[in-house]
Chains A and B, each alone.
Chain A
Amino acid sequence: MGSTAHIAAVVTPYTIPAGIMDVLQVTLLVLVAAGATAVVLIREPVRQVIMLSAYGVLLAVLFLAFQAPDVTLSELTVGAVALPMLLLLALAKVKRREK
């Protein structure tokens, strides 16, 4: 692609060489896919919530590699912290009634 080569010619302090970026993105995509599988297959809710938090961190790093720092921050605060907290509180409520 001629246009792609043209784009790669502009170098900023934030530019990462395309080859390294490819490897980084593919690695992270595989990790995210594995993370999603783990979240779904873990059937014990509390362990699952912890895995969900880790999955949130993986997604956040992937978004960083997709050049989306804003979404990274959002996913870190919501996906890795706020959502697991809501889920843990709900589980605490349910467990408490089962006793």
Chain B
Amino acid sequence: MHIVPFVVVVYILAVGLYGIVTSRHLVHQIICLIVVQSSTYVLLLGVGYKTGAVAPYFFDIPVHTPAVDPVVQALALTDVVVEAAVTALLLALAIQAHKRFGTLDPQELVQLKG
């Protein structure tokens, strides 16, 4: 159990990278990048998890209750929003590439540029 989440982190990263390299469509490639980035959330939250602890909200539980690390959660939280910003910008670039060259296949785009 101590290693399972980290194995999944490595697996998600690997499968996402595989998708990026073998992709024949820019939008598919962007989605694979989203998958790669999602591995970082699992890693962050996995590092901060404590067995038997609760979420760090002390609204109706005593302050000294063991709770998981709030710092990595704050990092993952903002990470998710940045992911949206990155995706939006990449999509804009993909649309513009499609307008200019009429294709979304990365290999054809490379050939067009020479």
Contact of A67 among B15, B49, B91 (CB under 8 A): B49
Interface residues of A (CB under 8 A from B): 4, 7-8, 10, 12-15, 18, 21-22, 25-26, 29-30, 32-33, 36-37, 39-41, 43, 45, 48-49, 52, 55, 59, 62-63, 66-71, 74-75, 78-79, 82-83, 86-87, 90-91, 93-94, 97
Once bound together, how far apart are the Cα atoms of A48 and B31, in whole Å?
8
User: Chain B residues near A29 (CB, 8 Å)?
Assistant: 4-5, 8, 42
A-B contact count (CB 8 A): 149
User: Chain B residues near A68 (CB, 8 Å)?
Assistant: 45, 55, 68, 73, 76
B-side interface residues, number (CB < 8 Å): 55
A33-B8 contact in complex given A45-B27, A49-B31, A71-B80, C-beta closer than 8 Å: yes
